[in-house]
Structure 1
């Protein structure tokens, strides 16, 4: 026969869902900024340092 699964109902408040959403969107924003600074010369421009390939 088929596999019978009895899923329990989980009651999670909307506040917890919003908390997870804020957490993940914040992490995505931080990683995007880090990626941008790492993959471009924006960090060097912000700090005033220039790498002339020496």
Structure 2
């Protein structure tokens, strides 16, 4: 799914059931819209590192 997200994040977010406002908040990468769509609840950011170990 990561490859699909990299290619078209909006389509993956829509397929996952996010609303248009939620999609724009996620894609923007800005904390303010994320807080807004989460109802002002506290949010935490996480960085995920993927290593293809072959």
Shorter chain as denominator, the TM-score bin is under 0.3
TM-score by length of structure 1 reads 0.25
Higher normalized contact order (CA 8 Å, seq sep 6+, divided by chain length): 2
Name the structure where helix makes up a greater proportion of residues. 1
Normalized against structure 2, the TM-score is what? 0.25
